């Protein structure tokens, strides 16, 4: 369809799904809210490395960002992460942006894992409209 745009958006585990989809399809942009680096690293932080190794799916956001860079370098990626996120540390979002310079990172001051959706709403919408 002429003029249509494909955009993915996801929060937390949904951010991993959005990046996974974008790694396999030609998307224009991805909004990843409170993403982890890999599911296994996040699980290890919560339950320890031994139990994290039992995960069948890793949802590797690093690998998906690398695939997007190789196969769709024009895709725009925005990561929005609350600075008070106790579920997925803001450092994980920052780490992804550091490793992939084409990713734009936005820290949402004082937002936690859930409130980031409300607190960051206007910033997310503004970025999507640029």
Structure tokens at 125: 């919408």
Q: Where are the beta strands (DSSP E) in 1-130?
A: 7-11, 29-33, 76-82, 103-108
List per-residue pLDDT tens for the chain, 130 residues long: 445 689 999 999 999 999 999 999 999 999 999 999 999 999 999 999 999 999 888 899 999 999 999 999 999 999 999 999 999 999 999 999 999 999 999 999 999 999 999 999 999 999 999 8
Q: What is the DSSP string of 70-88?
A: HH-TT-EEEEEEETT-SSS
| CA angle 122–112–11, rounded 5-degree value | 65
Sign for the pseudo-dihedral over CA of 114, 116, 122, 125: negative
- pTM (2 d.p.): 0.93
Q: Report CA-CA distances (Å) from 42 to 32, 39, 100, 109, 130.
A: 16, 5, 19, 21, 31
Structural contact between residues 97 and 103, judged by C-beta atoms closer than 8 angstroms: yes
């Amino acid at each position: 369809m002429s003029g249509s745009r494909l955009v993915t958006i996801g929060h937390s585990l949904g951010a991993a799904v959005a990046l996974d989809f974008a790694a396999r399809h030609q998307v224009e942009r991805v909004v990843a809210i409170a993403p982890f680096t890999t599911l296994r690293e996040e699980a290890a932080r919560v339950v320890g490395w031994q139990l994290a190794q039992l995960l069948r799916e890793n949802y590797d956001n690093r690998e998906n960002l690398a695939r997007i860079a190789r196969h769709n370098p024009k895709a725009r990626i925005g990561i929005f992460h609350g600075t008070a996120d106790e579920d997925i540390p803001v450092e994980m979002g920052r780490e992804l942006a550091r490793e992939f310079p084409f990713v734009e990172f936005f820290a949402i001051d004082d937002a936690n894992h859930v409130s980031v959706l409300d607190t960051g709403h206007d910033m997310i919408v503004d970025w999507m409209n640029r």
